[in-house]
Structure 1
Amino acid sequence: MTMRWAVSALFFVNGLLVGSWAPKIPVLMERLGITEASAGVIVLGLGLGSICVMPLFGAMVARAGSASAVRLAAWLAAPSMIWISLAPTYWTVAATVVLFGGMVGGMDVAMNANAVAVERARGRAIMSSCHGFWSLGAFAGAAAGGWLIQRFGELAHAAVITAVFALVLLWALSRLLEDAPEAGAPKAPLRLPRSPLPWLIGLMALAAMIPEGAILDWAAVYLQREMGASLSVAGLGFAACAGTMAAMRFAGDGLRRRFGAVTTLRASSAVAMAGLVLAGLSSSPAPAIAGFALAGIGIANMVPIAFSAAGNVPGLAAGMGLSVVTMMGYSGILLAPGSIGFLAEHLSLGTIYLGLAALLLIPLLLSRLAATADFEPRDD
Structure 2
Amino acid sequence: MKKLIVDFSGTIQKASKYGVLGEVQVNSPYGVQNAVLPGTSIKAIRFETRSTDTAIYGGVRSEIVVNAPVKDATAFNPWFAFKFYIPSAEWDGGTKECIFPFQFHDKSLADGGEKASPNFALEILNKRFRVATRWSTADYNTASNRKEKWTDIGPAPMDQVVDLVGYYLPRTDGTGVQKLWFNGKEVFNLVGANAFVGSYYDYLKVGNYNWNRVLKCVGFIGGPLIVGDSAETYESMYAALQPASPQPVPNKAPVVTLTDQNVVTTFATLSASVVDPDGKIVSTQWRQVSGPNVALIGSLQSAVTGISGLVTGQYVFECTATDDKGAQTAGKCTVDVDIPVPAKKVVFEGRMFDDGTWEKL
What TM-score results when the alignment is normalised by the length of structure 2?
A: 0.24
What TM-score results when the alignment is normalised by the length of structure 1?
A: 0.23
Higher helix share: 1
Which entry has the higher C-alpha Rg, 1 or 2?
Answer: 2
Higher strand share: 2
Higher relative CO (Cα under 8 Å, sequence separation at least 6) belongs to 1
